[in-house]
Amino acid sequence: MTKSPAISGFVEPGFEAVREAFIENFDKRNELGGACCIYHLGEKVVDLWGGIRDKTTGEPWEENTMVLVSSATKGLAGLAMALAQSRGLFDYDERVSSYWPEFAQKGKDKITIRQLLAHQAGLFALDKHVDTRIEADLDRLAVILARQKPTWKPGTRQAYHAITLGFYESELLRRADPKHRSLGQFFNEEIASPLGLDFYIGLPEDIPNAWLSRTYMVNPGPASLKAPVQLVLAFMNPRSRIRRALWGELPEDKEHVYPRNVEVPSGGGIGTARAIAKAYGVFATGGKELGLREETMELLKARAVPPTNGFYDEVLKLEGLEMSLGFMKPSQKIPFAHPSSFGMLGFGGCFGFADPHAKIGFAYVPNRNDFYLMDPRQSALRVAMYRSIDETNPFFLEEEGGTHI
């Protein structure tokens, strides 16, 4: 029998089931290294980490180990955009071109910020494969973004903007912000620094490799059987929408665990579960620490507005994936939390979200990347968390008019 890796951290009384699920991830679900953190009612009630961060050396995952969270970054980017909206920098229902005139070309003049953030703009792929040099040159990247033509009439279909969403968000924010900050800079100055978060959208040069965990892919053959069949088939086609949507990923760096000073706001965020959970926890309790307006909070809590053709995602080939204001929302197909919740999954299993109804901020980050849509490791932790506050089916509880205990 394999000995379980050392688990560190704490859980508050009543949340012992989360620790048990975390340990079971190593014993039964092939966890390599990872962390889970939960804030409830503004207090940290779970903070766990364990396993190894470096598969080659066997070095352990430590208290402050950071890891790439892939598309879960979109949720942190969404928080930054929400704070910017709350401070009056832009209106979700205003046209993008009102702040960024060059964006209006090639039929994009009527696209609203709400449509863009809901993956309804038809701009899921670029006509040029961008590399780190272009990603680091925001003026050059802006020209490429502005010249894109929507694949179909904006507002009619949903298509997951896997990489492009963050680039568009960042340029919009640069135009609307009086200081002309990028999304990564805005997030760092207005959210990460005030809250003391170890999370970066654009990793600084001075972060040592010893603070970081690499990510490790499981065998893609058997793993692909865990993903939705339509998505697997699409991914096998090099001309498919999903393959084109992934142009611009954060590349490997020979010197560093991850490249430095490159912002990929849709998939390049690096940080701790603790940072993600705290950020969502602050928003879940109203965002008073950041001066978030109540009106913005109500917009984040609201149900997603579907495009004309409904919530079928043309990139992921999935039905019922609901997107709103830069976040994934709970739905009948993916009922991960109360309907007022908002967050984002990341490739490999990571997940972070805010549940304002239960006043919860949840985060799970692993370094072993698997291919599930809803990874059983985070699902086990999430189910244990809700059971710890006496809820077993939060989405349908609120749907039916139930109240949180």
- Domain containing residue 143: CATH number: 3.40.710.10
pLDDT in tens, 327-362: 999 999 899 999 999 999 998 899 999 999 999 999
More confident residue, 177 or 250: 177
Q: Output the CA–CA distances (angstroms, integers) from residue 174 to 71, 185, 398, in the order listed.
A: 21, 10, 38
Q: Tell me, yes or no, whether 2 lies in a domain.
A: no
Whether the predicted pLDDT of 252 surpasses 90: no
Give the Cα separation of 127 and 230 in Å (integer). 24
**Is residue 1 situated within a structural domain?**
no
Q: Give a yes or no: residue 189 inside a domain.
A: yes
Residue 188 has pLDDT above 50, yes or no: yes
Q: Is the pLDDT confidence value at 245 over 80?
A: no
In a domain, 48, yes or no: yes
Tell me whether strands 7-11 and 43-51 are parallel, antiparallel or unpaired: antiparallel
- Check pLDDT > 70 for residue 197: yes
Under a CB-based contact definition with an 8 Å cutoff, are residues 354 and 339 in contact?
Answer: no
The CA-CA-CA angle for residues 73, 28, 330, to 5°, reads 40
Q: Are strands 216-217 and 322-324 parallel, antiparallel or unpaired?
A: unpaired
| Average pLDDT of the residues in 11-36 | 97
More confident residue, 2 or 91: 91
* Mean pLDDT of all residues in 96-103: 98
Q: Which two tokens mark 80?
A: 């930054």
How many folded domains does the chain comprise? 1
Residue 401: pLDDT over 50: no
How large a percentage of the chain has pLDDT more than 70? 87
Average pLDDT over residues 145-161: 96
Q: For residue 250, is pLDDT > 60?
A: no
Strand 216-217 vs strand 368-369: parallel, antiparallel, or unpaired?
A: parallel
**pLDDT reported for residue 402:** 33
pTM more than 0.75: yes
**DSSP 3-state of 279:** helix
Question: Does any domain span residue 187?
Answer: yes
Say if 404 falls within a structural domain: no
pLDDT average, residue stretch 167-181: 98
Give me the residues paired with residue 99 across strands.
Answer: none
* Residue 184 belongs to a domain: yes
Q: Give the pLDDT of residue 249.
A: 47
Has residue 400 got a pLDDT over 50? no
- Whether residue 297 is contained in a domain is answered as yes
Q: Which residues, 6+ apart, have CB-to-CB distance to 255 below 8 Å?
A: none
What pLDDT digit, counting tens, does each position of 260-271 carry?
A: 889 999 999 999
Which of the residue ranges 1-5, 148-152, 165-169, 184-188 would you say has the lowest mean pLDDT?
1-5
Q: What pLDDT score does 403 carry?
A: 31
The residue ranges of DSSP E strands in 189-346, in sequence order, are 199-200, 212-213, 216-217, 270-271, 312-313, 318-319, 322-324, 327-329, 342-345
Q: Which domain holds residue 329?
A: 7-399
